[in-house]
Amino acid sequence: MIGLPVYLRNGIYYLHTRRAGKQVKISLRTAYKREAIARAIEFLGGGTVVKKLEIDLANGIFKADPDKPGDVEALERFLNANLPNLLASMQSRQPSKQPATPSEIVTEGVPQAPTLSETLERLIAFRGLKEGSAKSYRERLKIFINNSPGDLRLDQMTRQHILNFQDKMNMRREIAPNTQAGKNYSPASIDAIVSVLRSILNFGAERGFLDFNPVQRVKNIQTTRNKKENSYKPYTVGELQAIYARMPRKTLKDKRFFIATLLATVTGARLGEVCGLEKNAFKVDAAGGHYFEIRDAKSAAGVRLVPFPAKVWELGLKEVHERASGATLFDFGKVEAKGYGNAVSNKFRRTRIEAGITRSGLTFHSLRKFFNDFLFSEGISEEVRAQLLGHEHTGENAKTYTSYPLEKLAELVGPAQLKALIQLELR
């Protein structure tokens, strides 16, 4: 305690007092004693310091009702206990004779709240987020920063900043629905970005830089009904047959696109996982079975070994692998804030439309839905499907079963993978 109901906790000063008969505890958002005293006095200036006193720190006014001796005594006790800090705070708040330029302004001894990006890095380190999750958070925050006033400090963030961002991105989508920008910023994408902001500001509030999170009162653009209507849907076998029939395999570029799509179809791997595969991630086990290793994922379950049919190697993967010139197998290039799969996603969408497949809810990710449903129809258990697709398995059996060895996993899913190739007429 420092003469006022102010105390230090986890490196941040808090004020604990009573107002209107109720206990009040607020963060003073500073780790420095002098500034904590000044902020506490300003808060208490409304008239709750023992008696009814008038405190105007900015103008150096301290008043008590002379007709009420108790108030005068309370003011004297208050001043005696806090006079050094009061004088220091008043002096630090005196305006300078010459207005300072922005580059000359220095807030000595008062740390500013961190920026959004700085807070995110603290959150990542504090919670030990996986690299995949950290990358996703950074990319989504960058989209917000590039379409808002910038990398604001936490204490500058308001609810209106978030609402303006939602309006701007949603309007762009509605005005130009077929453009690259419109496609990339769907309601689900905008909500995902706002969700990251919500996490950052929640963390900032936990660490004492905010009294409340301004994003908490911001609703998502997507409703529950919208989510259901716009959720990913699986392809039918006939639809995939039509799409693959539109894929040429003449040039190396054609073959890269075909093999990336094929790997996703018969393994259920995500677009970013497939397109980010390194050349040395492809291996052969002791029994001669082919598999690849996903090393970078959003969760621990996403880091996994994925078996695939040798037929895929024969259908063009061998040539693509041998002719790969860089560290990554497909060399599609990485687009900022979009990842490795942007080019494949765009080309797949064009190919799908050319094949006459325009049903809503179908994207590249729908290949993953197709494969999961196909495995289910072939009687593959939930544990096996979760391990192969990189899902967190939260069922009761997860407490009992460990992951399957690679050879056993290949034995369990190999027949279904070959059957899918045959049904899709990929020979």
Sign of CA dihedral 48, 52, 57, 59: positive
- 334 and 261 within one domain: yes
CA atoms within 13 A on the CB side of 57: 23
- 243 and 217 within one domain: no
Q: Look at residues 230, 264, 291 and tell me which one is the last residue of a structural domain.
A: 230
- 225 and 120 within one domain: yes
**Domain range spanning residue 343?**
237-423
CATH, residue 191 = 1.10.150.130
- 220 and 197 within one domain: yes
Q: Percent helix, strand and coil across the chain, each rounded to 5?
A: 50, 10, 35
3-state secondary structure of 6: strand
pLDDT tens sequence across 157-170: 888 999 999 888 87
Q: Look at residues 230, 255, 279 and tell me which one is the last residue of a structural domain.
A: 230
What mean pLDDT is reported for the chain? 79
3-state secondary structure of 36: helix
Comparing CA positions, the residue from 120, 154, 116, 150 lying closest to residue 135 is: 120
- 369 and 349 within one domain: yes
- 304 and 251 within one domain: yes
Please report which confidence band the pLDDT of residue 105 belongs to, taking 50, 70 and 90 as the band edges. very low
- 311 and 215 within one domain: no
pLDDT tens sequence across 292-331: 999 877 677 788 999 999 999 999 999 999 999 888 898 7
> What would the DSSP string read from start to end of 273-312?
HHHT-BGGGEEE-TTS-EEEEE---SSGGGSEEEEE-HHH
Query: Does any domain span residue 362?
Result: yes
- 321 and 391 within one domain: yes
pTM: 0.58
State how many domains the chain has. 3
Q: At 412, phi and psi to the nearest 5?
A: -75, -40
- 324 and 243 within one domain: yes
Both tokens assigned to 393: 């398995």
pLDDT tens sequence across 17-28: 776 667 777 777
CATH, residue 309 = 1.10.443.10
* Rounded average pLDDT over 114-129: 92
**CA terminus-to-terminus distance, the chain:** 78
Q: Look at residues 170, 203, 230 and tell me which one is the last residue of a structural domain.
A: 230
